[in-house]
Amino acid sequence: MSVPVAHEEREKTSHILTAVVIGAGFSGIGAAIRLSERGIDDFVVLERGQEVGGTWRDNVYPGVACDVPSILYSYSFAPHNWSKIYADGAEILEYIQRVVRERDILRFVRFGHNVVALRYDEDEGVWTVTTDTGEFRARNVIASYGPLANASLPSIPGIEEFGGTILHSARWEDDHDLSDKTVAVIGTGSTAVQLIPHLVRRARKVVVYQRTAGWVLPRRDTATPAMARALFERLPVTQRLARSALFRVAELSALALVWNTALTSLVAAAGKRYLRSEVEDPWLRRQLTPDFRPGCKRMLLSDDYFAALQADNCELVTWPIARIGRSGIMTCEGIEHHADVIICATGYEVTKTAPPMEIIGRQGRSLNEEWARGAFAYKSINVAGYPNLYFTFGPNAGPGHTSALIYMEAQIEYAVELISIMEKRNLKSLEVSRTAQEKYNTWLQGRLAKSTWNSGGCRSWYLTDDGFNATMFPGFATTYRRILEEVDLHGYLATGDLATAISPSGNRQSPAPEAARRPASRS
C-alpha cells in the first residue's frame, strides 16, 4: 500500500481524523466499508500485520475451516458463492481480500501499525492513537482488534525447557516435516478437532492431551451442490432465502445451547449417539464423554475427529499434564511421553479482563483498571468515561449458537450511526451515561446467570477466573439485533450541539437530559 508521505504525515500529526479503526479483520473491514458508504472517508484503518484478514490471515493450520455454515458466516451485504458448506480458511481469506478489493478499502488501511495506547483529550474531544511507529489523532475510534487475536501458550511448568519445536495453532509454520516425528497436541477445542485429523495423516505418531472432553456433533460438510451454486449465481434471491432459513435454524439452536431446556437434553442425546456410533471401545468412549451441559463450551463439529483419535498412530492421553521436560511431556501419574514437536491448540488471550492496549479515557481513567475483574460495556459497544470509542466484538457480544458476523454487523451499524450523528451535529463528544450502562449490565448479568455458560458445569474461556461472564450475549441474535437497531440518544451525554440531534429513524430527539445539564464546553 503506497500512501503519499505528506498524506501519512498529516494523518499522524496535527490533522484530526474523523475516525481511526483498529484492525483489518472482518469487523475492521466491515466498519471501513460502512463508514465510506455513509460518506465518511476521513479515517484510517490501522493494522499491525501486512495483510488484511485478521484471524483468517493468522490461522493457517492444516484443516482450518469455519464451523458455521459459510452462507451465514459472511457479510450480509457481500454474498459469495461458497465452494463448500463450511468453507476452508483459505477461501474465507480470499473472500475478505476480494471484498476489500471490490470496495476499494485498501486506500484506508495503514499496515504495520501496532496500536499500543489510546488516550482521550477531554478538552479537545480527541483520541490520540499511539502505534509502535507513530501517533494519529481522531475524533472517534472503532476498536476492531478482535477478541481472539493473541495466541496464548499454556503456562505449563517447564515449557521453556522443551528441546524440540513448539508451535501454536494460530502461528502455524508449514515448513516442518512431521513424517518421522512424534507430535504432541495440547488441547481438544474447536481448533484441535480440525487440526488433529490432518496431523494423524502427516505425522509418524500423534499424542493428544485432553483436559476436558467436549461435545462433538457431525459437521456433515460437503461441497455446495453444483445445482445450488448455479441457482445462487442466476437468482441471488435464492441465496438470501437460504441464508435466512439457516439463520432461523441457528436461532432455534439457541434454545438448546444458551439455556437448559428439553432441547439441551436432545443435543446431549445426539452427542452420545454420535460418540457410540463412532467409537466402539467403551473405555475410550468414557474418556470422550463430556461431564457438562452442551453449550457450556463451544460445540465441536467434526466428521473425522473421532476416527482420527482411533487411528493406529494416534493416542489419547487424559491424565493431566504435570510438566514439560526437554524431550517430552510428563503427566501426573509420572509417565514421560516423548515428543519431537508440541502443538498448542490452547486458544487465545481473550480480551475479557483488559483491552490489549492501554486505554485512558476522561479524567485519566484507565479502562485496563476498570476491566481488571471483567470487561463490561453498554450494548457491548460503548463504555462510560470513554467518549467516542466503539468496540466491535466487545464485551458480551459473542454468540454460542450462530454466526458472530451477524452480531458484528449490528455493532458496526450502531457505531457508524453514532459517528454520523456526531458528524452531522458537529458534536465534540458522545458518551454513554453510567446510568444507562449500569441498567443494561444489570439486565444482561441477570440473564447470564441463567445461561448454560454460567451454570452448565464447565469452565470455559467465556468466563473470568472469578466466574464473571464478560464475553457472551445471553439470547437470540434477533434479540441482540433488536437492542442495537435504534440508537437511543437519551442514554448518551454529549458536548456540542445535541439540541437538534436527529434519531436514526429521522425523528427529532429531545436533548438527552444528562446532556442538557452539562455545560456546553465539557462536563
List residues binding ligand NAP (CB under 6 A): 65-68, 148, 154, 156, 186-192, 209, 211-212, 298, 321, 345-347, 461
Closest contact distance (angstroms) between CB of 159 and ligand NAP is 9
Complex with ligand NAP: residue 148 or 279, whichever CB lies closer: 148
Closest contact distance (angstroms) between CB of 329 and ligand NAP is 10
Closest contact distance (angstroms) between CB of 463 and ligand NAP is 11
Strands 134-143, 126-131: pairing is: antiparallel
Instruction: Classify each residue of 164-183 as buried b or exposed e, where b means 16 or more C-beta atoms within 10 Å of its C-beta.
Output: bebbbbbebeeebebeebbb
Element (H, E) at 493: strand 492-495
Closest contact distance (angstroms) between CB of 146 and ligand NAP is 11
Complex with ligand NAP: residue 120 or 292, whichever CB lies closer: 292
Q: Give the three-class secondary structure for 52.
A: coil
- Identify the residue whose cell numbers are 501517533: 135
Give the count of beta carbons closer than 10 Å to the beta carbon of residue 133. Answer: 12
Assigned C-alpha cell, 266? 436432545
Closest contact distance (angstroms) between CB of 453 and ligand NAP is 12
Complex with ligand NAP: residue 184 or 436, whichever CB lies closer: 184
Complex with ligand NAP: residue 68 or 308, whichever CB lies closer: 68
Closest contact distance (angstroms) between CB of 487 and ligand NAP is 28
Closest contact distance (angstroms) between CB of 187 and ligand NAP is 3
Residue 454 to residue 450: CA distance in whole angstroms: 7
CA angle 78, 80, 81 (to 5 degrees): 160
Q: What is the DSSP letter of 491?
A: G
Complex with ligand NAP: residue 295 or 385, whichever CB lies closer: 295
Phi, psi of 509 (to 5 degrees): -105, 145
Alpha helices (runs of H) in 279-334, residue ranges in sequence order: 282-287, 305-309
Complex with ligand NAP: residue 55 or 433, whichever CB lies closer: 55
Closest contact distance (angstroms) between CB of 324 and ligand NAP is 10
Closest contact distance (angstroms) between CB of 217 and ligand NAP is 13
- Identify the residue whose cell numbers are 487475536: 149
Complex with ligand NAP: residue 45 or 65, whichever CB lies closer: 65
Closest contact distance (angstroms) between CB of 336 and ligand NAP is 16
Residue 209 to residue 352: CA distance in whole angstroms: 26
Complex with ligand NAP: residue 46 or 300, whichever CB lies closer: 300
CA angle 123, 129, 135 (to 5 degrees): 105
Spatial neighbors of 76 by CB under 8 A, at least 6 apart, are: 243, 406, 409
Residue 437 to residue 206: CA distance in whole angstroms: 49
Closest contact distance (angstroms) between CB of 265 and ligand NAP is 22
> Measuring CA to CA, which residue among 369, 386, 355 is closest to residue 140?
386
Structural contact between residues 267 and 257, judged by C-beta atoms closer than 8 angstroms: yes
Complex with ligand NAP: residue 321 or 498, whichever CB lies closer: 321
Beta bridge partners of 59: none
Complex with ligand NAP: residue 186 or 207, whichever CB lies closer: 186
Complex with ligand NAP: residue 44 or 350, whichever CB lies closer: 350
Q: What is the CA radius of gyration of the chain?
A: 24
Side chain identity at residue 210, one-letter code: Q
Sheet holding 205-209, edge to edge: 165-168, 341-344, 182-186, 205-209, 314-317
